[in-house]
Amino acid sequence: MAFLLGEQRAAQRLSHRLFGRSLRRWEYAGLTGAPNLATVEVGATEGRLYLELRDPVSRMRGYYYLFRDGTSVVLLNDAIRIDVPEMRGRGLGLQMFRRQVRNAAALGVDRIETVAGRGRDENGYYTWPRYGFDGAVPAPIQRLLPSGLRRRRTIADLMSCEKGRKWWKEHGVPMSLRFDLAASSTSRRALARYVRARRCIATNIT
């Protein structure tokens, strides 16, 4: 972990505003869920704490911001990309996110936000909701929901059944989502269920 040149004092002041103290180096890294060999640079920009992750193994890059929204401390997952195709779909993202959730919650962060994209190399619109991110079903999408799903008003509700997941995977759109870090939140429960399901799949395969 290293501070961006000339930004250490500003970053430490922001850390005090957000958490009441300067964070330890490993705590900064923990907020990104960084793998063991990754490096994390810390800086300050426009009144926000800025974190940039680089992993030499997967050639991953991640960009994160921490800021206060009213009384809440928010962690924004701005962009995360794995450039080694062989490293995708192997659970690295889930492992990192679980580490991020654990560390962010321990520091008192209230929620994680992201803009979940959809594109040739983007599947966040589907993956982030599987991890427990949630948001209101957009009105244009609500009107397209098939019979049996029309009463579902949130992405979490839609993703809670197999029919909803299949429909969203085909028709889902990019949108802003958030993950509630409270211990008993819908987000935390959804993440725990997904982890259990992944373990069951792995056990059955082996």
Question: For the segment 116-128, what is each residue's pLDDT rounded down to a tens digit?
Answer: 999 877 899 999 9
**What does DSSP assign to residue 137?**
P
Instruction: Enumerate helices (H) and strands (E) in the chain, giving the number of each.
Output: 8, 7
Q: Are residues 124 and 100 in the same domain?
A: no
Q: Are residues 186 and 122 in the same domain?
A: yes
Q: Are residues 175 and 133 in the same domain?
A: yes
Tokens of 87: 């490293």
Q: Are residues 134 and 183 in the same domain?
A: yes
Q: Are residues 96 and 156 in the same domain?
A: no
End-to-end CA distance of the chain: 37
The pLDDT value given to residue 3: 78
Reported pTM? 0.91
Q: Are residues 16 and 76 in the same domain?
A: yes
Q: Is the pLDDT assigned to residue 30 strictly greater than 70?
A: yes
Q: Are residues 101 and 129 in the same domain?
A: no
The confidence band for 80, taking pLDDT boundaries of 50, 70 and 90, is: confident
**20 φ, ψ to 5°?**
80, 5
Q: Is the pLDDT assigned to residue 206 strictly greater than 60?
A: no
Q: Are residues 102 and 137 in the same domain?
A: no
Q: Which residues span the domain enclosing 186?
A: 118-206
Q: Do residues 42 and 23 touch, judged by C-beta distance below 8 A? A: no
Q: How far is CA 62 from CA 27, 41, 65, 112, 135, in A?
A: 16, 10, 10, 14, 22
Q: Are residues 132 and 196 in the same domain?
A: yes
Q: Are residues 105 and 79 in the same domain?
A: yes
- Last residue of one domain, picked from the residues 60, 81, 109: 109
- Last residue of one domain, picked from the residues 89, 109, 129: 109
Q: Are residues 72 and 139 in the same domain?
A: no
Q: Is the pLDDT assigned to residue 91 strictly greater than 70?
A: yes
pLDDT-wise least confident of 19-33, 73-87, 130-144 = 73-87
**What does DSSP assign to residue 123?**
-
